[in-house]
Amino acid sequence: MTILVAGATGLAGSAIIRELNRIGKSVVGISSKDIDLRDRTLTFEFLQKLKPRVVIDAAAKVGGINANNTFPVEFLSTNIQIQTNLMDASHSVSVERFIFLGSNCIYPKNCLQPIKEEYILSGPLEPTNSAYAVAKLAGIELIKSYRKEFGHKWFSIMPINLYGPNDNFDLESSHVFPALIRKFTDAVENNSKEVVVWGSGNPRREFLHVDDLARAIIVCLEKYDSDEHINIGTGSDLTIKDLAEMIAEISGFKGEIIWDSTKEDGTLRKLLDTQKITKLGWKPEVTLEQGIKSTIDWYIKNK
């Protein structure tokens, strides 16, 4: 059984491939360097040749608040093209299982906490990344539509904020976790006395190590089959201020943390309800402290 992982060099895709290789599965990984999934013809031709039985879609244009807010057209258009072409091409070769990776930003800005799967479309989205969220919502709906019309055993998963090796550490486009890793690690290396961090530090976020996501996907492949997406998270959160202080301490930074409150905070809280995935027998294994240390080590080694 061949499993295709799209987005193979990214944060999620690379972790999924590592886990599939670990358990002895036959896996093919592709990235934008191998094939441009925005090109419908190329995508169909590639799937016709490979004919995988399982497709895991971890390919997407992603970025932090600044990138999403600055380039909404790219985040909406590019992601809709990628996911639609891949799903349509997978249907053309009768792919048995298709897993679509969504994003927790699909949930309303002011959402009840913890966020249950059924809270989707229950209120307005966070404006700073609404274009990306709409693209992901479209992907979820297309998965449901393929299930309804053709009976495919396809489904969507909704991970909380991910971090780990192969993340994007570019300060202009990264998410908060890798941005903090880079800022504090570089500050230690450069003997800087202060680090400026975006926002007030008050929003609460939940973070999941990408290796735990990969293990959750394997569990879902074996045990999950529903037209409702499934949340993947740790079930606990912390403030960005607390996260920054943890990263500063683990990195060895002794200087001052300055909060730039002129920058957007985004949604005040995101905590997923993870009852469904835990009932399938999965739970996260990497603690936040372990994850921060290993990610710092990876960044220093690979930067």
Q: Where are the domains of the chain?
A: 2-165+207-235+270-286
Q: How far is CA 7 from CA 36, 156, 254, 260, 299, in A?
A: 11, 16, 37, 33, 20
Query: If pLDDT is split at 50, 70 and 90, which confidence band does 287 have?
Result: very high
Looking at 35-179, which runs of residues are DSSP E strands? 54-57, 97-101, 155-159, 161-163
Per-residue pLDDT at 162 exceeds 90: yes
Lowest mean pLDDT among 161-170, 202-211, 261-270: 261-270
How far is it, in rounded angstroms, from Cα 184 to Cα 247?
Answer: 7
Query: Does a cis peptide bond (omega within 30 degrees of 0) precede residue 114?
Result: yes
In the chain, count H helices and then E strands: 10, 12
Per-residue pLDDT at 188 exceeds 90: yes
Q: pLDDT above 90 covers what percent of the chain?
A: 92
Lowest mean pLDDT among 32-46, 55-69, 117-131: 55-69
**Given this model, what pLDDT does residue 301 score?**
97
How far is it, in rounded angstroms, from Cα 85 to Cα 295?
Answer: 33
**Given this model, what pLDDT does residue 139 score?**
98
State whether the Cα torsion 257-262-263-268 is positive or negative.
positive
**Given this model, what pLDDT does residue 302 score?**
96
Per-residue pLDDT at 212 exceeds 90: yes
Kindly state the average pLDDT of the residues 236-264.
96
Kindly state the average pLDDT of the residues 73-96.
98
Per-residue pLDDT at 50 exceeds 90: yes
Q: What is the pLDDT of residues 163-187, one digit of tens each?
A: 999 999 999 888 899 999 999 999 9
**Given this model, what pLDDT does residue 64 score?**
81
Whether 220 contacts 259, CB under 8 Å: no
pTM as predicted: 0.95
Of 107, 119, 132, 163, the catalytic one is 132
**Given this model, what pLDDT does residue 299 score?**
98
Per-residue pLDDT at 266 exceeds 90: no
**Given this model, what pLDDT does residue 1 score?**
83
Whether 99 contacts 57, CB under 8 Å: yes
Query: If pLDDT is split at 50, 70 and 90, which confidence band does 45 have?
Result: very high
Average pLDDT, the chain: 96
Per-residue pLDDT at 63 exceeds 90: no
What kind and span of H or E run contains 77?
helix 72-92
Instruction: Transcribe 154-200 into DSSP letters.
Output: -EEEEE-EEESTT----TTT--HHHHHHHHHHHHHHTT-SEEEEES-
The CATH H-level superfamily of 2-165+207-235+270-286 is NAD(P)-binding Rossmann-like Domain (3.40.50.720)
> Half-sphere exposure of residue 56, counting CA atoms within 13 Å on the CB side?
27
How far is it, in rounded angstroms, from Cα 156 to Cα 76?
Answer: 18
132 is catalytic: yes
280 token code pair: 């399938």
Whether 176 contacts 241, CB under 8 Å: no
**Given this model, what pLDDT does residue 116 score?**
98
**Given this model, what pLDDT does residue 267 score?**
83
Q: What is the pLDDT of residues 115-143, one digit of tens each?
A: 999 999 999 999 999 999 999 999 999 99
268 token code pair: 């005040």
Per-residue pLDDT at 248 exceeds 90: yes
